[in-house]
Structure 1
Amino acid sequence: MRVITQHDVKELLSMKACIGIMEEVLADLAAGQAVQSLRSVVPVHGGNLMGLMPAYLKREQKVGAKIITVFPDNHAKGLPSHQGFVSLFDAATGQLEAIVDGRRITAIRTAAVSAAATKRLAREDAATLAIIGTGEQARTHMEAMLLVRPIRRIRIWGPTPAHAEQLRQEAERLYSGEGITVETMPTAEQAVADADIVCTVTAATTPILHGAWLKEGAHVNAVGACRAKDRELDSELVRRAELFVDRMESAVNEAGDYLIPLAEGVIAEGHIRGELGDVLLVRIAGRSSERAVTLFKGLGLACEDLAAAGYILNEAIRRDKGTEIDL
């Protein structure tokens, strides 16, 4: 059994590779080649939680689960909000093959799924990106969006100006040589006012993005809120948007961004256009027009974690990374 650390994951799993892996596994999920159960959540004091996310990948013959804790207030303590690991078993023998750091997988694969959605749903000429949030997901989403659209401007907003400025400086060092301008904005409304793509990657439990702020043709990736009572988006945005999700079962049980406007009567059942996997398989269409506002609501899926972990394990074996141990 191989133990693969966060440092190894960062080295072995590139964002470009992960986007392709996520496209494949989401298409497999829609085609019945991947199986997963709705995540099981244990509430922890202070609004925190631990989640168990199992899945089975038929083509790869891998089965396993991610165990992860979500402590949204950890940023104030200098700690990551998401911590955990992915266990990977051989589905033919039941043998445990690997334990892989889950924090870095989560950071990369979440942004990679948003990139896969952006490839299918955002306008081809999308050039202005707004990042709402300043944590680890803000950084990986920035990287991912630049791989799938011709981004020339990045606008950043977060509730703590110092964190937004730190992110701006990091992004400027990384991307200024590519002719990309990066700036912080004083409000979320100003950040998204002219944005073609908006990524909400916050720990917010009440709306921080409003539909009235978005221009025609914008695309939104909303990945921060992951509980039925929490949301990042106001009801008007959800009503206005053509809504796509990573998994229907997850959305109707866990997505406050969908469930709250549904309970309010602002939208009706059937408002979700479909799953991203069905768009990838061309079973359903993406955006309906250049003027439409599109929304991808991602909750994160176990099959995504297993697919990423399987790729990492293969790379670790090929490049002799990680640590082999006997249990």
Structure 2
Amino acid sequence: MLVVTKKDIEKCYSLKECIDAVAEAFKYFSAGKVDVPLRTQIVKKNGRDTFLCMPAFCEEKDAACVKILNMFPNNIEHGLPSINAQVLNIDANTGVVNAIIDGNYLTQLRTGAASGVALKYLARKNCTKGALIGTGAQAATQLEAMLLVRDLAEVLVSDLNFERAQEFASKMQTKLAKYQTKIKAVKTGNEAVRDADIIISVTPSHKPVYDFSNVKKGATICGVGSYQPQMEETPAELVAHADKIYFDAKKAVLAEAGDIIIPLQQGLIDESHLQGEIGKVISGELVGRENDEETIFFKTVGIAAQDLMTAKAIYAKAAVANN
């Protein structure tokens, strides 16, 4: 059995490859070809810390895995990852666990890749400015995903802790220098999103992290951080006024995503406002962006199909590298 660490993954697998794997995951999932039970979720009494178990199986791809994942948002204050996870990759023909893969980094890759896929299919072609709100463990791959799929001149970064945003922006400016994009920290979410073509928020906030009035028409917004019904990092007004709303998995979003659940409960939208799953846009069953004036919102809570296709791809490359 292979033990695949973050360093092992970095040596043989890229975010660009992961975007392709996640696009395939979304497409297969929406076609009903991946068995993904709604993830098991146990929330501690503080309403914040969460234990998750996420199995998945795709017979057509001979792929099976289980991810065990724990989300503790306050860990960031102690210099620890807010997400801790391991993925068990399983031989679908024998049931043998053939690899334990670093689930923290795999999650970062596949979560960043989800935004990358959404932006690839839904964002305007001529984007020049991006905004990233939140600088936790998931932020780096979110930022790189933006830069992989659109040629951005500038990305403004904000966080509740401005010093942390500055440190993140400085580090990413060096790490992602090959993209020749200016990465700058700003003090507020509103400053970050103003005039942005692409907005990604990746926070566990229970209240909106920017105001809808600062979002320009034609922007593409990815809500990544809200994964419980009471979380709401995206303004309800934005969701209500979006021309189109897409997501990774309808059942999961309606069960878990406060960004969608809260506007529904408030009567600002109903299910007729929800265009559908990104997988159907990829397959051509649904129309995506039709013009540069459409404001489009994409919500992802993360589904095990993403872990499945990513783990399968990582295992294939790691197994070769290990021989």
Which residue number corresponds to residue 76 of structure 2? 75
Which residue number corresponds to residue 137 of structure 1? 138
Q: Which residues of 2 match residues 207-222 of structure 1 at below 5 A?
A: 207-222=208-223
Q: Which residues of 2 match residues 1-327 of structure 1 at below 5 A?
A: 1-46=1-46, 47-176=48-177, 178-241=179-242, 242-320=244-322
SS of the residue corresponding to residue 35 of structure 1 reads coil
C-alpha separation in 1, matches of 2:97 and 2:178: 45
Q: Percent identity?
A: 33
C-alpha separation in 2, matches of 1:66 and 1:114: 20
C-alpha separation in 1, matches of 2:108 and 2:21: 14
Q: Contact conserved, 1:86 with 1:306, CA < 8 A, in 2? A: no
Shift of residue 17, structure 1, vs aligned partner: 0.5
SS of the residue corresponding to residue 76 of structure 1 reads helix
C-alpha separation in 1, matches of 2:44 and 2:187: 34
Q: Contact conserved, 2:63 with 2:308, CA < 8 A, in 1? A: yes
Q: Contact conserved, 1:211 with 1:238, CA < 8 A, in 2? A: no
Shift of residue 2, structure 1, vs aligned partner: 1.7
Q: Contact conserved, 1:154 with 1:180, CA < 8 A, in 2? A: yes
SS of the residue corresponding to residue 85 of structure 1 reads strand
C-alpha separation in 1, matches of 2:205 and 2:276: 25
Shift of residue 93, structure 1, vs aligned partner: 1.7
SS of the residue corresponding to residue 55 of structure 1 reads strand
Give 2:50's aligned amino acid.
L
C-alpha separation in 2, matches of 1:152 and 1:228: 35
SS of the residue corresponding to residue 246 of structure 2 reads strand
Task: Name structure 2 gaps, 5 residues minimum.
Answer: none
Q: Contact conserved, 1:49 with 1:70, CA < 8 A, in 2? A: yes
C-alpha separation in 2, matches of 1:35 and 1:311: 18
C-alpha separation in 2, matches of 1:178 and 1:68: 32
C-alpha separation in 1, matches of 2:258 and 2:297: 14
Which residue number corresponds to residue 324 of structure 1? none
C-alpha separation in 2, matches of 1:308 and 1:173: 27
Cα deviation code 1:213-265 (max 9, x no counterpart): 10010001110010111111121011011110000110111111000011011
C-alpha separation in 2, matches of 1:181 and 1:84: 32
Aligned length: 321
C-alpha separation in 1, matches of 2:85 and 2:191: 35
SS of the residue corresponding to residue 206 of structure 1 reads coil
C-alpha separation in 1, matches of 2:308 and 2:75: 25
Cα RMSD over matched residues? 1.4
C-alpha separation in 1, matches of 2:137 and 2:282: 27
Task: Name structure 1 gaps, 5 residues minimum.
Answer: 322-327
Q: TM-score, normalised by structure 1?
A: 0.95
Give 1:118's aligned amino acid.
L
C-alpha separation in 2, matches of 1:265 and 1:22: 32
Shift of residue 63, structure 1, vs aligned partner: 1.8
Q: Contact conserved, 2:65 with 2:311, CA < 8 A, in 1? A: no
**Which deviates the most, 280-289 or 174-183?**
174-183
SS of the residue corresponding to residue 302 of structure 2 reads coil
Q: Contact conserved, 2:207 with 2:232, CA < 8 A, in 1? A: yes
